[in-house]
Structure 1
């Protein structure tokens, strides 16, 4: 395990534990919208990750949470987060997206957005497949005028589905679409206490580089342990 990544991961965990004391139970992404829907593959791919490349028969049930990362009041811009859980025969697959650019370098930079409708979002950190590292991303297809406030988003998405396309790419390569997402706001609730765990519930055929686990996992464990909620 790389010493520098381990040291940075430990510092991040301490920071998020301290932040949790002020913003309990979620130090970031404090307010969100609970979503549910389905994911349909577009066809076979060649990413090197079997979960992407081998389409399942029919749609896959998904649950998601759309949130504003820092939690600044709407309509101010914020980094948009989308936490996704796709069900599968081998267990759940958890993926976390955040609003970024889509070009070769901006895909690694967090970018605030006014609305989820404008938020191209990526995983920022890559998975490892049989052909090398792979990034995932989502692009909204419609509606193109979603509001920025979570309560307003929930009201809109209870009557109008949110459609997104899912992509895969090498870190500096072209984006290739492989699936479509359709999400609606869950009835009877605004937010959800469910959490995902991207370190444990990786897509079949994908692994995570040790330096990424060392950097990210301590924060996940510390925050989720203190909140009493698991993925």
Structure 2
């Protein structure tokens, strides 16, 4: 294994172990079936995709980003640590998108900055309105590493954008939130819903190996606690 790949592999594995430990510690301090994002509003939404090619000038090789369309989605808005509303917290936005084969893909966003560096840095605040969010870690695509971003563009409306690497943001969709909460048909068995970007993927948005090693231990820890709950 080349030295750089070996270093990246080790760093990602260590980071994944640390995130799993943090998830375990959070569940010990605040016992719950879900150690992260323990509460949140789950409701319906409609995703209007315009496609990224007109803005970017080229296709990314991912139908979800390239093609125009409308998707009926399930959305969760939550606070990562579940702190009281008066305290700053890391905010989360999860979107469940149907796939053509009947499965679904989950996209998870967390509050960050919007700049070339700050888009990869978590931030805490009291309110989400006007605050940007990103997927924090890039997806592997035919066009290179792609990061997804989200930010409010109006009442109950969220703009979705993407960037290749740390490049400029390009609009590709608008999420319009419904006042209707998700119904039983939208939820997983057991009456809840668990968003998991490691297991539930959108075609063309693949995980880098180092991203999987970073994410999987903490998601596995979270799945274990959901099973106990």
- Fold in common (TM above 0.5): yes
Which of 105, 110, 135 matches 1:98? 110
1:13 aligns with 2:12: no
1:4 aligns with 2:11: yes
Quote the RMSD (CA, aligned, Å): 2.2
Aligned-residue offset at 1:93: 1.4
1:196 aligns with 2:195: yes
Task: Count matched residues.
Answer: 208
Map of 2:74 onto structure 1: 63
The alignment partner of 2:36 has SS state of coil
Aligned-residue offset at 1:187: 4.0
Which of 178, 184, 193 matches 2:178? 184
Map of 1:34 onto structure 2: 42
Aligned-residue offset at 1:201: 1.8
1:113-149 deviation per Cα after TM superposition (whole angstroms, max 9, x unaligned): 2222122110010001101000001111122xxxxxx
Q: In 2, distance between residues paired with 1:133 and 1:127?
A: 5
1:111 aligns with 2:123: yes
Aligned-residue offset at 1:221: 1.4
TM-score for both structures, normalised by structure 1: 0.82
The alignment partner of 2:129 has SS state of helix
The alignment partner of 1:206 has SS state of coil
Q: In 2, distance between residues paired with 1:187 and 1:217?
A: 29
Aligned-residue offset at 1:87: 1.2
Which of 108, 113, 135 matches 1:123? 135
TM-score for both structures, normalised by structure 2: 0.83
Unaligned runs of 5+ in 2: 1-5, 54-58
Q: In 1, distance between residues paired with 2:52 and 2:137?
A: 23
Map of 1:89 onto structure 2: 100
1:48 aligns with 2:61: yes
Q: In 1, distance between residues paired with 2:109 and 2:86?
A: 21
Q: In 1, distance between residues paired with 2:119 and 2:61?
A: 20
The alignment partner of 1:179 has SS state of strand
